[in-house]
Structure 1
Amino acid sequence: MVTRRNFIINASLATTAVLALPSLAFTMDKKEIGLQLYTLRDELPKNVKATLEKVAAAGFTTVETYGYSIKDQFWGFSPIELKRILDINGLKAVSGHYNLGGFLADGNTTELKAAIKAAKILKSEYLTVPWVDEPFRKNINDYKVLAKRLNDAAKICADSGLKLAYHNHDFEFQKHDGITGYEILLSETDKNLVYFELDLYWTIHSGNDPVTFFNQNPGRFKMWHVKDMDKINSALNTEVGSGTIDFKTIFNQVKQSGMKHFFVEQENNYNTNPFESIKRSCDFIVKNLV
């Protein structure tokens, strides 16, 4: 199965809920539940139209794209064609994961400009950096350079009416001379330009508490990835509500976080099939979190 790392390298909410979670009503449409389409990376290349129909049928109203390339675009569909399919199914791509490896490495704007163009066609709000290749995150200086690149990219995005966000895995929480890469990114990026998409699973898997980040950096985490941790093997995902993560406590901190959008994601370990898995996750969220 293709991993996120290999893919990027190769591709060069009801009244009772509002009462229970009052902060949620002030930050996002309670009916909005998103899906990171990477969850269905084995299905999309087979049939984009049928896959997105099933996403909408499962209860999702927003998506986060992935996998855009200048050559192949979105699984062979242009941004204009994909936008039409999303519209037909009542889906909105509020964010997209775009490979900006070239820009982050040396400032080359080719990929960045293409990504901005695609995101604008999809009428997305955020252009999100999903991954940083290992050679560019080995030490403190690497993260300082990365922070500068993010600031530069964010300015270019802002000039086009987009917001830039950064999505984490677990490597950002490794310490370099007593400080983590994530701390450097938070402290050395412009809080008015660079936003963060906190992957709750990877944050907790690395031994950190999302709520601590919310309290230390209020308002900066405009998006979340919501995926659960398997009860037996913490290296695996599971359907939201089926694992060990206390999502109710985290969702109580929506206002402090600044979260505007969240996306269910499951990278592996489907207990049934991917479509049944995303439905189970969506149903749990509707019933218990929003």
Structure 2
Amino acid sequence: MNRRTFLFQSTALAAGAMIFPTACARNSNSKSTDMMAPGLQVYTIREALAEDFQGSMQRIADLGYVNIELFAYGDGQYFGNSIPEVKTMMSDMGLQVKSSHVATGWTSPDAVGTMTNNWEQTVQDAAELGQDYIVLAYLTEEERQSMDDYKKVAELLNSCGETAKNAGLQMAYHNHAFEFETMDDQVPYDLLLSECDEDLVKFELDLYWTRRAGVDPIAYFEKHSGRFPLWHVKDMAAGEDQFFAAVGEGVIDWENMFSHAETAGLDYYFVEQDATRSGEPFKEIEKSIGYLENIL
């Protein structure tokens, strides 16, 4: 993957130790018992990955992370590494790829490896890596101009979810804050929950963006129990700018949040920090894993 492609996909996609009995029972035939081990969405260290993919992944493993969510898939590669190469690296380091982020492809039709361009191969590659989930990461502004657009997104998720299911994977949708902004007297996120098939499409709730939208995630867990098997564990700093923070250094009550994991249907969580004030993302994710290991 060249730098131009990486930067484009990065922009487009940017945008615990306990095991719960019901989650274990639900996934005993398809998922290993490390489903609640520390996870990381590697977008957090995107610049380091572009410089040294293998070395950066080793640093993640050395910090104690186990489960990985990838991004920037393109034409059978991650950052210039083939799927067999990535698979070997992960195995050697004791890392497990549980999920990956993808785009619709509607605004980047030439990009190979999206939900509308070579989706079958994208799913096959995800299955080869041993993933359980594949996630629509972000909707560009052009893709979300109306509620009809969101209905088209739901249709695409259902269709792609069927392909994923046939390969043994689960399709999911990852939110930002804009999905909770009322449009035509409706909440787009609620429409997605309504229009998406409960079996074919699950939801990865980004707890930072949900909080930033002024929404209570626990209320969603209780209303739509079992539909949130993936979380982005991302903290919010105190202050008007609501900047990103290392987990445990912000305003989100994580102990309370994780106490509702069973209701949510949580399988895996992934630490993520979109940006850092320090400019040292590895130090930030080290603080995050340290905090989570203390409370879980």
TM-score by length of 1: 0.88
Q: Find the aligned partners of 1:77 and 1:177 in 2 and give their Cα distance.
A: 44
How far has the Cα of 1:170 moved from its partner?
0.7
Q: Find the aligned partners of 2:169 and 2:38 in 1 and give their Cα distance.
A: 21
1:162 is aligned with what amino acid? L
Of 172, 196, 205, which residue of structure 2 is paired with 1:165?
172
Which residue does the alignment assign to 2:43? 38
Matched residue SS, 2:68:
strand
Which residue does the alignment assign to 2:271? 264
Which residue does the alignment assign to 2:205? 198
**Is the 2:40–2:271 Cα contact (8 Å) retained in structure 1?**
yes
**Is the 2:105–2:115 Cα contact (8 Å) retained in structure 1?**
no
* Counterpart check, 1:88 vs 2:84: no
Of 177, 182, 190, which residue of structure 2 is paired with 1:183?
190
Matched residue SS, 1:44:
helix
Correspondences of 1:124-273 after superposition (within 5 Å)? 124-271=131-278, 273=280
Matched residue SS, 1:41:
helix
Q: 1:277 to 1:237 in 2, by over 3 A?
A: same
Which residue does the alignment assign to 2:81? 77
Superimposed CA distance per residue, residues 156-176 of structure 1 (whole angstroms, 9 cap, x where no aligned partner):
111111110100011111111
Q: Find the aligned partners of 1:10 and 1:231 in 2 and give their Cα distance.
A: 25
Gaps of 5+ in 1: none
* Counterpart check, 1:64 vs 2:60: no
Q: Which has the higher contact order (CA 8 A, sep 6+)?
A: 1
**Is the 1:218–1:258 Cα contact (8 Å) retained in structure 2?**
yes
Q: Find the aligned partners of 2:7 and 2:200 in 1 and give their Cα distance.
A: 26
How far has the Cα of 1:99 moved from its partner?
2.1
Which residue does the alignment assign to 2:105? 101
Q: Find the aligned partners of 2:159 and 2:70 in 1 and give their Cα distance.
A: 23
How far has the Cα of 1:7 moved from its partner?
2.2
Superposition RMSD in Å? 2.6
Gaps of 5+ in 2: 25-33
Which residue does the alignment assign to 1:47? 52
Aligned length: 278
**Is the 2:136–2:172 Cα contact (8 Å) retained in structure 1?**
yes
Misfit runs of 4+, over 3 Å: 2-6, 8-11, 23-26, 28-31, 102-105
